[in-house]
Structure 1
């Protein structure tokens, strides 16, 4: 029949398939370990601030070193959990987002800069801003690089201290 419409198949949309949001029961364990890790990390940071308080108008060394140490540990952690061996799906959110996210502190860093600036310590604030950024980036890069080298050495020697000689 010449005037009948011809049915055509609909083409699938291009691009990656969109995965529906995970139900709450799948996300609850992740939220729980992030919260628990965050509490641990925040308590550790608070403890550092109590042990090494920063005087008003002084350079905030404690916050700087907390952030640098957190970045260094993040470099080690990411190599170990992404390149060395598979780990449980909750390890990375617990340690990376939770513990280290609670330990490191961008908010205190920003408040420290503002406090220094408001206290007519603009040069110190600028130095703190740049120093934290440079040392934190260097820490994560260095520990990532060194962890990869250590892991490669351990793999080469089979984990034996004698260099692999039997």
Structure 2
């Protein structure tokens, strides 16, 4: 598959995933009695993790889905629905490969440093736009 076609397929999946994320997270949050807690985001992250696990197992064990459909679903749709699903899948792959050290580094760096980067971004924004 040529690069331009693959990018178009991933882009279409990304569009669908972003719209789906907005709709599903909003639906979950509206039905929650915990309006102060981001259950919508948690919901899409957990759903994304479930679906990337389900789909990658089908690809690995049954060789299901063409390269194009995998690009649409795994990279585009789920990648846009939640990048947390990709993070979970890649960390699990490291564990399955026996690389517990790298899995621990990946998990801890992305969570701890990620939170730190959000905090740093807020500090920079506050400094620029006071």
Instruction: Give the CA deviation at 1:83.
Output: 2.1
What is residue 10 of structure 2 aligned with on the other side?
34
Q: Any idea what SS the aligned residue of 2:71 has?
A: helix
TM-score (norm: length of structure 2): 0.56
Say which of 30, 35, 49 aligns to 1:71. 49
Whole-angstrom CA distance in 2 between matches of 1:105 and 1:47: 17
Larger Rg: 1
Instruction: Give the CA deviation at 1:87.
Output: 3.0
Whole-angstrom CA distance in 1 between matches of 2:64 and 2:24: 32
What is residue 85 of structure 1 aligned with on the other side?
63
What is residue 125 of structure 2 aligned with on the other side?
none
Instruction: Give the CA deviation at 1:89.
Output: 1.4
Whole-angstrom CA distance in 2 between matches of 1:86 and 1:101: 19
C-alpha contact (below 8 Å) 2:26/2:40 kept by paired residues:
no
What is residue 101 of structure 1 aligned with on the other side?
79
What is residue 58 of structure 1 aligned with on the other side?
36
- Judging changes above 3 Å, is the alpha-carbon distance between structure 1 residues 26 and 103 closer, same or farther for their aligned structure 2 residues? same
C-alpha contact (below 8 Å) 1:63/1:105 kept by paired residues:
no
Q: Any idea what SS the aligned residue of 1:59 has?
A: coil
Whole-angstrom CA distance in 2 between matches of 1:44 and 1:103: 7
What is residue 121 of structure 1 aligned with on the other side?
none
Q: Which residues of structure 2 form unaligned runs of 5+?
A: 85-110, 123-130
Q: Which residues of structure 1 form unaligned runs of 5+?
A: 1-24, 119-166
Q: Any idea what SS the aligned residue of 1:46 has?
A: helix
